[in-house]
Structure 1
Amino acid sequence: MSTPSVPRPEPAPPSGPVRGTRLPLAVRHRMPEGAPAALALFAAVRLAGILLVITADHVAGRPLTRSLAHSWDSRWYLHIAAHGYGRLIWISPAGALQTDWAFFPLYPWLVRAAHTVLPCTPGQAALMVAWTAAGVAAYGLYLIGHRLYGRTTATALVALWAVLPHSVELTIAYTESLFAALAVWSLYSVLKGRWLWAGSLAALAGLSRPTGFAVAAALGVAAALELLRRRGRVPLTLWAGALLAPLGWLGYVLWVGARTGDLFRGYFTVQSAWDSRFDFGAGAVRFLRTLFRHGGGVVYPVALMLVLTGVVLFGLLCLDRAPLVLVVFAGVLVLLVLCGSGSFSSKPRFLLPAFPLLIPPARALARTWRVRPAQALLVGGALAVVSLLYGAYLTVVAHSPL
């Protein structure tokens, strides 16, 4: 595995402000060549997915945006956005007391802000936040791919992310797109050596999802490697970024602990009521035993296949000598999926932000494009059709937890 300073075969054109200026990171570069086409492709695929879900809702006799804005956890986020925390409690079939403290606050905060400022319903505000974040994440993916491997691989990376079987969940009122956007831009900042930006974005990622600490872990490993490489002579911004990174996640965990009366264990007690805990894979083993004995329809076997594919892709990512910060981020998410309890049908969703897993197939698809473009188009088109159809089935037809 290489360091964040890994050489890149097709570097982006030099760009940025005049020497001496200090503009925000988001405006210090021009959009690389090929980025508009890649983003248009991403938008087209995901817009087709949205329209297909709306059509499926219409055929099923449901309100047109029910599956997009009011599915499963979406209702909890909308309730938090409207009424704050501590107002919604649910008794699970197993008798566990489930509270809204299990849901991290950044997404409902943004939904509330959008609903306050814009003339829209809370559901529409939730979708606008999710869709905007998905686009921002796709652009960040392109920048990372372009910086490390060039234009063709960057386009393939964005395209593959758009056609994942669970990519429909990037465009419903869930937190995956927001977490992905913050994670992508934090890791891109690490690759650029912008440690303060990286730490700030990592802190926000920690406020968006329980798995948000994966960004802080990746940044911490990258910072430690940089310390060793420079023998301790590093800029103050590196220290500041590394210290900032975990504060969002830690802050919310401790806040929930304080509300429950158990500062350090309260949050984990709340999550346990949702059957969400780190059980070293015991839950996954029970799921496999049940699946092989009794079957599981369509969603659960597909989920198992996707999780196993993620494990294989992580091995290929390590062999690919990708930057360490990307490997650690993806590795933490894969570990949490394998060793965390909870519904197995949700595990592919947890892997959606683990975009580095797509680097090996994106590089392979880019090589195919250079020698056999028709074959690459066929593969991409087939993946898009499967993704769109499965996404509509998953959100409208299947009754498995998203």
Structure 2
Amino acid sequence: MTDLETCAAPSRAGTLRRAAPALLGYAAVRALGLLVLVLWSAARDKSAYTLLTARWDALWYVRVAELGYGYEVRLPNGDVHSNLAFFPLLPWLERTVAAVTPLSYADGGFLVALVASLAAAWGIFAVADLVYGRRAGVCAVLLWAVLPVGIVQSMAYSESLFTALAAWSLYAVLTGRWVTAGSLALLAGLTRPVGIAVAAAVWAGAVSSSVRTGRAGGPGGAPTPARALPRAGATLRTPLGTVGARRALGVLLAPLGTAGYVLWVGRRTGRGPLGYLEVQAGWRNGFDGGYAFARFVADKFTALPSALAGMGLIVGVASVVWLYVLGVRRRQPLPLLVYTGVVTALALCASSYFGSKPRLLMPAFPLLLPLATALAEWSRRRSAWVVGAMASASALYGAFWLNGSGPP
């Protein structure tokens, strides 16, 4: 299905049953990653749980949950690291969990990450299943699970929460549930700055839907695949005015999360709409079109060991671009292409934290769809061996990574 606009979807229970193999496979991969991390950390006399819940960004989220906004660290070089750089939804959830359970804020972050990672896997399956079929959906989830930095999905970070909200918002766009899509985009915008990518996808889907509606003279304009047809007795069409109103409401809701937090930071700092950018500048982070990243890669070509790393970075970036071009050539639905394009551009063109780019690309799961459709065409035995090998490599790399420099 390529010219997809909106399709009816099965019931929630039916969707969960259909997704069960993907979710079980995902849970197995993540369990393997956590087991290897525990064993590796124990051998180095470190706490795996601390690495997952109380290091790097996870510690900053806990501070927001515990102390609120206003905490900052001034470095010797004059840089100011303010916790205003971190969007509020994850700390709010951590605080909620701590308020209703005996768990700490860090425990709450870990619990949210575990639940959100399963919700993200389910959402990725739902999108891929809708567009390419069930087996491709299972493969997409497994490929997302075995990413080299897949261990982040189990950390008290916001990546899993954001991916879950983004995936289900995209699914809602593709199935014509505009208010749900806009509401989830709003929440995604309260989770990470890249939430604007979800809002852009909702806007793109709304424009595409409106154009198709005008051409077709009704609320639907694209053929509905057989596997997505509603059950007997379901309503096939919705009054055009109702569809238009819901679509408009979804479009209005989508950017409110990102815009609301950015404007609030500007008011708190007294810097207006540019206040959040100044907060990010204190972390030496910003958007420069990829210039700093290009210089970082070029600087690697000064000696043989680092030159090999530089070549690896070039191959990695080329692979990401190639996968995106494949998605365009195979006519992925426009909302997926817009979402992936914005996430990828913001990740690759940020001016700092170069080691974090694989983590920042993690929510761009539609990049995996061309690989998932290819893997789905293989025999079950062959694909199982490939995924198993990748899962083992991902588990080993994740344990090595977190016990080393780890993610900033």
The verdict on a shared fold, with TM-score over 0.5 as the criterion, is: yes
Q: Distance in 1 between matches of 2:331 and 2:20?
A: 28
Where does 1:53-72 land on structure 2 (aligned, <5 Å)? 53-72=37-56
Q: Distance in 2 between matches of 1:303 and 1:275?
A: 21
- Given candidates 304, 324, 332, the residue that maps to 1:314 is 324
Counterpart in the other structure of 1:125: 108
- 5+ residue gaps in structure 2? 216-239
Task: Tell me: CA distance 1:306–1:67, structure 2 relative to 1, closer, same or farther (3 Å).
Answer: farther
CA contact (8 A) 1:81 1:111 kept: yes
Counterpart in the other structure of 1:289: 298
Counterpart in the other structure of 1:263: 272
- Given candidates 73, 81, 93, the residue that maps to 1:90 is 73
CA contact (8 A) 1:179 1:205 kept: yes
Q: Distance in 2 between matches of 1:336 and 1:55?
A: 35
- Given candidates 363, 376, 381, the residue that maps to 1:366 is 376
Amino acid at match of 2:52: L
Where does 1:18-97 land on structure 2 (aligned, <5 Å)? 27=12, 30-31=14-15, 33-86=17-70, 88-92=71-75, 94-97=77-80
CA contact (8 A) 2:297 2:313 kept: no
Amino acid at match of 2:82: T
Question: Relative to structure 2, which stretch is displaced further, 386-395 or 194-203?
Answer: 386-395
Counterpart in the other structure of 1:238: 247
Counterpart in the other structure of 1:179: 162
Q: Distance in 1 between matches of 2:406 and 2:142?
A: 27
Q: Distance in 1 between matches of 2:51 and 2:299?
A: 28
SS at match of 2:73: strand
Task: Tell me: CA distance 1:291–1:316, structure 2 relative to 1, closer, same or farther (3 Å).
Answer: same
Q: Distance in 2 between matches of 1:355 and 1:64?
A: 27
Task: Tell me: CA distance 1:270–1:85, structure 2 relative to 1, closer, same or farther (3 Å).
Answer: same
Q: Distance in 1 between matches of 2:91 and 2:16?
A: 33
CA contact (8 A) 2:300 2:309 kept: no
CA-to-aligned-CA distance 1:150-200 (integer Å, 9 cap, x gap): 111111011101101111101011100000000000000001100000000
Task: Tell me: CA distance 1:133–1:228, structure 2 relative to 1, closer, same or farther (3 Å).
Answer: same
Shift of 1:125: 1.1
Q: Distance in 1 between matches of 2:312 and 2:49?
A: 25
CA-to-aligned-CA distance 1:76-127 (integer Å, 9 cap, x gap): 00111111100x2112454211110000000010011111111212221110
Where does 1:357-396 land on structure 2 (aligned, <5 Å)? 357-369=367-379, 373-396=380-403
The answer to whether structure 1 residue 211 and structure 2 residue 221 are counterparts is no
Q: Distance in 2 between matches of 1:177 and 1:302?
A: 26
CA contact (8 A) 1:257 1:266 kept: yes
- 5+ residue gaps in structure 1? 17-26
SS at match of 2:286: coil
RMSD: 2.2
Amino acid at match of 1:5: E
SS at match of 2:184: helix
Shift of 1:31: 2.6
CA contact (8 A) 1:111 1:129 kept: yes
Counterpart in the other structure of 2:144: 161
SS at match of 1:322: coil
CA contact (8 A) 2:197 2:342 kept: yes
Counterpart in the other structure of 2:5: 5
Q: Distance in 2 between matches of 1:337 and 1:228?
A: 31
Q: Distance in 2 between matches of 1:127 and 1:137?
A: 15
- Given candidates 334, 339, 345, the residue that maps to 1:329 is 339
Q: Distance in 1 between matches of 2:309 and 2:26?
A: 24
CA contact (8 A) 2:289 2:350 kept: yes
CA contact (8 A) 1:2 1:324 kept: no
RCO higher in 1 or 2 (8 Å CA, sep ≥ 6)?
A: 2
Question: Relative to structure 2, which stretch is displaced further, 110-119 or 91-100?
Answer: 91-100
Task: Tell me: CA distance 1:311–1:220, structure 2 relative to 1, closer, same or farther (3 Å).
Answer: same
Q: Distance in 2 between matches of 1:269 and 1:145?
A: 38
Q: Distance in 2 between matches of 1:310 and 1:223?
A: 27
Q: Distance in 2 between matches of 1:247 and 1:381?
A: 41
- Given candidates 357, 361, 385, the residue that maps to 1:347 is 357
SS at match of 1:340: coil
CA-to-aligned-CA distance 1:238-292 (integer Å, 9 cap, x gap): 0000010000000000000001111111110101111221101111111012222
Counterpart in the other structure of 2:185: 202
Q: Distance in 2 between matches of 1:130 and 1:183?
A: 15
Q: TM-score, normalised by structure 1?
A: 0.89
Q: Distance in 1 between matches of 2:309 and 2:105?
A: 29
Task: Tell me: CA distance 1:302–1:138, structure 2 relative to 1, closer, same or farther (3 Å).
Answer: farther
CA contact (8 A) 1:212 1:249 kept: yes
The answer to whether structure 1 residue 114 and structure 2 residue 121 are counterparts is no
Q: Distance in 1 between matches of 2:315 and 2:95?
A: 37
SS at match of 1:265: helix
Shift of 1:309: 2.1
